[in-house]
Amino acid sequence: MGRNGAEIENLAVGDRKIVEVCPMTTDKKPVALLADILIQKGLGFLVHSPGSRNAPIIIAFGQSKKVKIFTVVDERSAAFFALGIALATGKTVAIDCTSGTAALNYAPAIAEAYYQHIPLLVLTADRSPQFIDIGDGQTIRQENLFANYIKNSYTLPQSIDGLEDFTLAERIINMAMNRTIDEAPGSVHINIPLDEPLYGLTETESRGRLINSTPSFSDSIENFPEIFIDQWRTSKKLMVIAGQLNPNPHLNEVLKLIMEKQMAVILTETTSNLYHPGFIDGIDNALTAIRQEETDAFKPDLLITLGGAMVSKMVKKFLRDNQPENHWHISISNEEMDTYFCLRGIIHSSPTEALLVLANLPTDRSELFNQRWLEKKLDTNTKRERYLQRLEYSDLKVFNHILDHLPPDTCLHLGNSTPVRYSQLFGSRPHLNYFSNRGVSGIDGQISTAAGFASVSDKPNILITGDLGFLYDSNGLLLLKHCPNLKVIVINNQGGGIFRFIPGPDTVPDFEQYFEAQHNLKLEFLTKAFNINYLYADSLQTVDEKVHDLLYGKHEAQVLEISTPAEKNAEVLRNYFKGLRNR
């Protein structure tokens, strides 16, 4: 994908028009044009991190009443906050920062947005080319800075001295905004070199041209590969796996149809945001109970995948060790998701529309494959409930209690690493909407992302995070002023509890120091330093009281710290899976 003019032939040109005219704007013409066109194209949010070099950007946008501007000092937190807004609205959100290392702090959120297909428009102020690599302050090589994790990178002309410069700037701005949302959304970078002085003003002249783009994919069955249609018709054991997805009731209904009419096994995770009693929504539970001698009976011959990344390592191992004959991925973005190392091809289409067509194709599959999986689900659900009834205080018990008490229509934000994994063990709950930074699966930005989402949401928002994730993104607590409907639950097991669960780290000498990062910190004073109400629980009784206070108390932004026993948590989880394997 090229820069500064690569895709112009695919664009349809609209009319020039004057929209909102502000009395004054920056005297940097390319930046004034940038603001004008983006506002015309419907940009509604800008997350701004203060600095001198980006002063023209905020001057240009600050005059508009159509753009809501959030000021966030920490660029890493700012980018995740913007990601949360874009996730909630489905619309492009712009971020802007000054030159130098400020831009580098955007990288984690940009990578997450890339793999989750979330639209961000990244605006980085820069120095003129002649100042790069000569020892000038706050100056790095910013062109193509995020090349591996964006859809396109552009550099805005430094000045507009005639029609040719003006037309080039118009095209760059239009293409950049279009690319954030065409087909599969994602991040696009505009680097903006600026010379001093930076604070000059001039009268506004809004005459930017709008250039629109159209998607190229098709949902017609005539465009599906013949070999795929043949495999769909003749396969005896059909499985559909849904990875991370935003809530989509239409897709939910189509998958129900696929299950009923095509006898398909539908595997989902909480982060798939899909629900039906017949879906296999506790994948790790069911897989744990499959005995070695039954493996072949549970292996599909045709696997269809859709959505983003899977949380479950077990399903990856199962299907890599027992590969289906054919695997096809349905994706509007046409990416090659060869998760199980047996991909045959990609269906470039909306999963909802493609599956709706496929649901009506005649086949002669039996119900046996689906029934086997459903029996495993029901059996392990029964064992899970028995185990929970006699279980003592631990992460697993606490997580179950929290899920049981969340109000309807809650947006539940799950931190990495253990919270999002625990949620999978309880299956999907129809009254919850699940979100998590599972594109890259880092622990950075958890508070900031949830805060961004909650700032534009009228639903209750709950973040469940671990102690290290909370500490890592503590600057995100500054953002809770924008979202009184966000409550934060921190499960503090004094370190990286995930390393007690996964095989390997606990066999290494000095495990607590080098992997678990063991600590004895309490979060009370950190939370209160941000003027946020703090609650604490360390037993089943106090968890019951404090979860109720958190959800229904008079305070707006709140943090509930729940202390759990690290060593017992690991033992509880091992015994849980051992119990699922027992007949």
Contact 498, 418 (CB under 8 A): yes
Asked if residues 461 and 537 have their Cβ atoms less than 8 Å apart, the reply is no
559 exposure class (CB count in 10 Å sphere: 0-12, 13-18, 19+)? buried
- Per DSSP, the three-state class of 124 is strand
User: Both tokens of residue 536?
Assistant: 């604490």
Q: Find tokens 């118009």 and name the residue.
A: 170
The verdict on whether omega for the bond into residue 197 sits within 30 degrees of 0, i.e. cis, is yes
Predicted TM-score of the model (pTM)? 0.90
Q: Mean pLDDT per segment of 10 residues, for the chain of length 583 residues?
A: 35 36 79 94 96 93 92 97 97 94 94 96 87 67 88 93 92 95 90 89 77 62 85 96 97 98 98 98 97 96 97 96 96 88 92 93 94 97 96 95 95 94 96 96 94 96 95 95 93 67 56 59 92 95 95 88 90 94 82
Rg (CA), the chain: 26
Look at residue 504 in the predicted model and tell me its pLDDT: 56
Backbone angles phi, psi at 127, to 5 degrees: -90, 165
CB-CB contact of 505 with 515 (8 Å): yes
What is the pLDDT at residue 481? 87
551: helix, strand or coil: helix
Omega cis (within 30) before 49: no
User: What is the structure's pLDDT at 134?
Assistant: 67
**CA 460, 464, 465: angle at the middle one, nearest 5?**
145
DSSP string, 142-200: -TTTTGGG-SEEEE--S---SHHHHHHHHHHHHHHHHHHHSSS---EEEEEE-PSP---
Residue 191 CA to its chain's centroid (Å):
24
Enumerate domains of the chain plus CATH numbers: 16-206 (3.40.50.970), 225-369 (3.40.50.1220), 391-581 (3.40.50.970)
| Strand arrangement of the beta sheet that strand 533-537 belongs to | 432-435, 410-414, 461-466, 486-492, 558-563, 533-537
Is residue 335 a contact partner of residue 321, using CB atoms and an 8 Å limit? no
